Amino acid sequence: MTITIDTERPADIGGREALLDRAMGEERFLKPSQRLRDGRDAAQGLSLVARDGGAVVGTVRLWPVEAGGRPALLLGPLAVDPAHQGAGIGSKLMRRALNRATAFGHGAVILVGDAAYYARFGFDAALTRDLAMPGDVDSRRFLGLELRKGALAGATGAVTAPQLPAAAVPALVWSDRAAA
C-alpha cells in the first residue's frame, strides 16, 4: 500500500463523497458543523485527499469561519476509509493540513470531534470555552488549536460562516419580494 497525500481535484469529489458515506453515513449531513459548510467553498488549498493508487481513501477539508469575530478555520469532515483505518492516514492528513494552514498564514483551527483523537495534534477544549457553535454541541468535543500564539485568546461569541453570495439564495430573495 503506497499512500500519497495530495490537494483534492474535481475528479476526486465522487470518491470523497462515497468514502464519507462509508465512514460516516448519512448523519454527517445533520451535524452542526455542516451548517457552517452548506453552500460554501472550503478554504483555498485546504482540501486534501489520501490516495491508495487511484482510489481516494482519506479526506480532510478546512473551511473559513469567524470565531467570535476572529478569522479561523473549521476542520472537517476528516475520514479514512474503514478498510484503511489505523494505518496512520488520518494523522498524515491532519499534519499536512495543519502545516499547510500555518504556511498560508491562518491563525487558528476549530472542530467538533473526539478529544481523545484530536489532542495528539494539540487541540484543546479550553481554547473554545467562550465560543458557541450553531446548534447543540457537547463542549468537551468542541476543540481549538492556535497555529499562531494568541489567535484565539479572548475569542467570545458565535462561530459564523461567511455570507453566501446573493446568487446562492434566490429563494430567500424571492420570498422577501413576495412579502413586501
Ligand X SMILES: CC(C)(COP(=O)(O)OP(=O)(O)OC[C@H]1O[C@@H](n2cnc3c(N)ncnc32)[C@H](O)[C@@H]1OP(=O)(O)O)[C@@H](O)C(=O)NCCC(=O)NCCS
Distance CA 146, CA 162 (A): 20
Stretch that binds ligand X, among 1-9, 29-37, 88-96, 123-131 (CB under 6 A): 88-96
Stretch that binds ligand X, among 35-43, 75-83, 155-163, 167-175 (CB under 6 A): 75-83
Q: What is each CA distance from 2 to 24, 119, 156, in whole angstroms?
A: 24, 27, 43
> Rule CB under 6 A: is residue 90 a binding residue for ligand X?
yes
Distance CA 146, CA 72 (A): 9
C-alpha cell at 173: 430573495
Burial class (CB within 10 angstroms; exposed 0-12, middle 13-18, buried 19+) of 36: buried
Whether the CB-CB separation of 72 and 29 falls below 8 Å is answered with no
> Rule CB under 6 A: is residue 45 a binding residue for ligand X?
no
> Rule CB under 6 A: is residue 116 a binding residue for ligand X?
yes
Among 18, 22, 71, 91, binds ligand X (CB under 6 A): 91
Among 48, 74, 80, 147, binds ligand X (CB under 6 A): 80
Among 31, 100, 117, 146, binds ligand X (CB under 6 A): 117
Identify which of residues 116 and 180 has a Cβ nearer to ligand X in the complex. Answer: 116
- Footprint of ligand X on 118-177 (CB under 6 A): none
Query: Shortest CA distance to 46 belongs to which of 89, 4, 97?
Result: 97
> Which positions lie near ligand X, rule CB under 6 A?
23-24, 78-80, 85-91, 113-114, 116-117
